Structure formats: C-alpha cells, structure tokens
Chain A
C-alpha cells in the first residue's frame, strides 16, 4: 500500500527519505561499478513492463476477486537486487508524480516499504536460500510465495509503524495492525503466485535469463554486512530525526518552527512533559494503546476559525476564477485582433 503525504509527519517523512537516499546511493554505486552497460535499458524497460503488467488483473479462483503483480521480487530475480531496487524506486516515483499514487514526501517511505524489504531482505535472505538446493518449478513456487508474503508483511508492518509514529490516525496499534496485515497477506499470496508463474515461464523458455543474474553473485549477492550497515544508518537517521523533533519541540512530534499564538504558550511547559510521556506511550506497544492527543494540539478551532476559513476559501476561489476569466478574455481579444 502506498503511503500518502497526509498520513506522515515531517519527522517520519524526512527520516524515511534520508533512509531511502542512503539505500539509493548505495545501490547506484553498486549498479554502476559492477555491471554491463546493457543493464541501463534493461532496467528501464523492466520498469515499464512492471508498470504495464500491474494493469493485468487476473481472477483468483473461488474468491471472485482479482489481483496483480507488485514487482519487487520479479525485478530482483531478473535484475539482481541493486538494479531492482532502483527500478522499483523509479516506478514508485512515476506512480507518485503522474498518477497521484503515493505522496512526494511519502515517496521515500514507499521506496523503503515496497522496495527495500523485497529487494534487500526478501530476495537475498528468503528467496535465494530457498532456491539454493534445487532450481525447479516446485521450489520456485514455494520460494516465490514465501518471499512475497514475508516481504509484503514487512512492508505493511512498516506502514503501520510509520503512520502511528506520525500520529495522524486515531486507530489503536493493534486495530491498525489487524487491518493491514491480513490484507497484505492476501496481496502477498497473489504476488507470490504471479511471480512464480511468470518466472517459471521464463525459466522454461529462456533459462539463461534467470541463471545469468542468479548465479552471478556480484549482481545478486547482498552481503549481510552491507544490509546490516544500511539498516544501521537508516535506524540512526530515523531515531535521530524523530527524537530531535520530539525533544526540541514543545508540540511533540509535530514540527512547529515557531511558537504559536496566545493560549497555547501558556500550556507550553506542561506540554513538554505531557508530550514526552505520550511519546513513551505511543512507542510502547500496549494492547489497548489509544491516541488521544487532546491537550497537546493547538485547538484554536472555534466558530470564528470556521467562519474565517470559509471566507478565505471564497476569496481564494474568487481570485482563481478572476485569473481564469482574465486569461480567457485576453485570449479572445488576441484572437479577434
């Protein structure tokens, strides 16, 4: 599932962009140093392929619903994890930019959720080991299914954590989790089946495509050291950002560069303690964790705020409308001239 901007807080968004950038920089270096130039157009068309293939829904028997391919695992099998990661990132970027599927600030999060876990964890540490013994149809099926399901579960879990830390939903942790994980289990099953079907076909007809990237450890090998160091850097960045925002900020995790007006200032001191306490609460996973940030926020809402908001809206749309009319008039004047 693609994260939206509105579901993230600046802290989480920035931290994940930072993590994304780290992973992308590392992958770029790997791709450019180890590989043939012909990878470049291959990555591009594979990206377009995954994009188009996502439009093919197939019917899941007995459920009447349909599913489609996600792509991370398939790309890793064909391209190797580093190239696959960059390709996934570019697909997600185009989805965010041109199709409003996922936000711009949330792009970093999406690249991690949908790219990192599949390419750097599911593929090298679940799929490959499962295929080590024998590369045949049955193994392919099992490995593909397992890797897809686990990869997507990790991604879904990340979404839950990110949204919760961002604090934009009132859903308690367990409720959210119970909402997300089963859905992504189903999606993972579909992805696994689909990846298996396609890879089996390719392997039967043109095995050299699979084996060349699979056996080439320079391409497909992801050392534990590199993944661990990537995760460590990301964790430091994330932790750093989140705690910096939390501690230096009387409004808690929300970013606020300035003190807000009047009434909120009075509560500022009490705030810091409230906020740190609730930060503890938020990050602790309690069964009945609930998020009721009633005192911390700037509730300047009152009737006047709403009236003011309404007027602002009217003024803004009038302005926009006015510009429109002015432009149209200019055009017809020019045409008549």
Chain B
C-alpha cells in the first residue's frame, strides 16, 4: 500500500528526470552506460583500507548531477534502499578486525573501521552513479543501450514490457489491497486470503497478456519486436567518454588525496 505508492512515485520521478534536456541527457546512452560501468568497475577495484583514495571519484557525481539538474538529495534518499545490507554486513568489519592501522592524534583507527568506511563510501558512490545513469537516460534509451552492448534482444524487450506494465499492476494491487483492507477490520492479509488475492490478480494478468498479444498481432507483430533507429555517436560523446575514463584511471593510479594532503602539510 504505502510501499506501492512510494514505488510508483519513484518511477514517476525517474521518468520526469529523464525527460529533461540537458547536455548530459543528450549524450549517447551507450556512452553513458559505458562510463558508468567504468566508474563502478574502477571504484570496486580499490582495496579495503584506503577510503580517502575514493574521495576524488565524487567529482563525477557532483558534476554530472548538477549539469543534468538532478537533485543529489533525492538520489541520496533513493539510495537509502541499498544501505541496510551494506551496514548489516559491513558493521561486522570493525568487530572482527581490530588491528590498529594508524592513529589520528591519539585516536586509533583500526583496519576494520577503515574497511567499513571504504565499503560504505563505495556503496554510496556505485549506487548513486547507477541512479544517475537511469535518471539521465530513461527506459527507452536504456533498453537500446543494453541491446547495443550485446545483451539478448528478448531480454531488452522484456525489460521494456515489464517496465510498461509495472505501474498498471501496482494500481491493480493497490485497488485489490484497498478493497481487502476495507473489509479486513484492521488485520493484515492472512495466508488464506493471500492465495485468493494474488491468485486472482495472476489470472487477470494472464488474460491481459492475451489481449496485449492480440493487440500486437493486429498491428502486424510476427515475433520480431522492431524498434526505431538508434541515435548516433558524435564528438561530444567521444569527449565525454575520453575525459571521464582517463580521469577515473588517473585517480585509480595516483592517490590524489594523498598528493593534495602532502602539499598542504608541506606548506606548514
């Protein structure tokens, strides 16, 4: 019920974001997908004990989100979903590894704390970059991009179809649950009712799919899902790819934080 409304709102928000027309939105979706994957890949290639080496990667997030006019706060809220798992597993790190790495003044920093910190930062960065990708690309372009990097066509088709009908079904489930709750006297869905509720929705689902199939056939469908032409790759796209990937690799190679920190300390 409130789960459903929240999810619908999320989808709607994502959709609205991807409708915007900024320089980032205009970048070729395949390029954006590749850059995001390189970003994530580079981040998770770091070891467990150098959280400060990850910090420069935040440039990508700050710059892209502001150029694309996507609210970072909202993205943070959305990424909260991924936190329970990370915290749930990561919290054991400081518990199991108490060996001290170094001291900040007189405060001991253990390896466990470092690895938890690293895990947390990595998680936040990878999740937000994924959301950023989707918010600047939209489902249609994403489907096309996934096809272009080699995933099977039927997989991309299924993503599109599933996405299309999620909102319809969430509506149906919402209505069904409301109808149930109006007569359920404040109790939740019992196991017995569950079979009927979900089973009924399932049957309507199957009937609906038959109608959709008819609709497709009536417009000439014969097994091959045809989509339109694909956007080309232009100079801006190449520059985007080149700049970001070289930056990521540079930051991976050089410990930027340390360099800057040494400079500052050297000053004093």
Contact = CB atoms under 8 A, between A and B. Distances in A.
B209 A45 contact: yes
Contacts of B228: none
Which of B55, B193, B264 has the largest count of A CB atoms less than 10 A from its CB?
Answer: B55
A66 B134 CA distance: 31
A319 B155 contact: no
Nearest to A104: B130
Interface residues of A, number: 115
Contacts of A91: 162
A210 B16 CA distance: 40
A10 B41 contact: yes
B36 interface: yes
A306 B52 contact: yes
Contacts of A143: none
A90 B155 contact: yes
Given A6-B123, A169-B93, A301-B102, A32 B154 contact: yes
B179 interface: no
Nearest to B154: A28
Which of B65, B72, B133, B261 has the largest count of A CB atoms less than 10 A from its CB?
Answer: B261
B92 A46 contact: no
Which of B111, B209, B263 has the largest count of A CB atoms less than 10 A from its CB?
Answer: B209
Given A58-B189, A58-B194, A100-B131, A43 B45 contact: no
Contacts of B190: 58-59, 61
Contacts of A53: 173, 198, 201-202
B217 to A, nearest CB: 8
Given A100-B79, A313-B55, A316-B58, A38 B210 contact: yes
B46 A254 contact: yes
A31 B154 CA distance: 9
Nearest to B256: A312
B191 A256 contact: no
B166 A308 contact: no
B47 A316 contact: no
B170 A52 contact: yes
A337 interface: no
Interface string B144-161: 001000111111011111
A221 interface: no
Instruction: Give me the 3 closest cross-chain CB pairs, A-B, nearest first.
Output: A44-B161, A308-B261, A201-B199
Interface of A: 1-2, 4-10, 13, 21, 24-25, 28, 31-32, 37-38, 40-49, 51-53, 55-61, 66, 69, 78, 86-87, 89-91, 93-94, 96-101, 103-105, 163, 167-172, 175-176, 193-194, 197-198, 200-202, 205-206, 209, 251, 254-258, 260-261, 290-294, 296-313, 316-317, 319-321, 323-324, 327
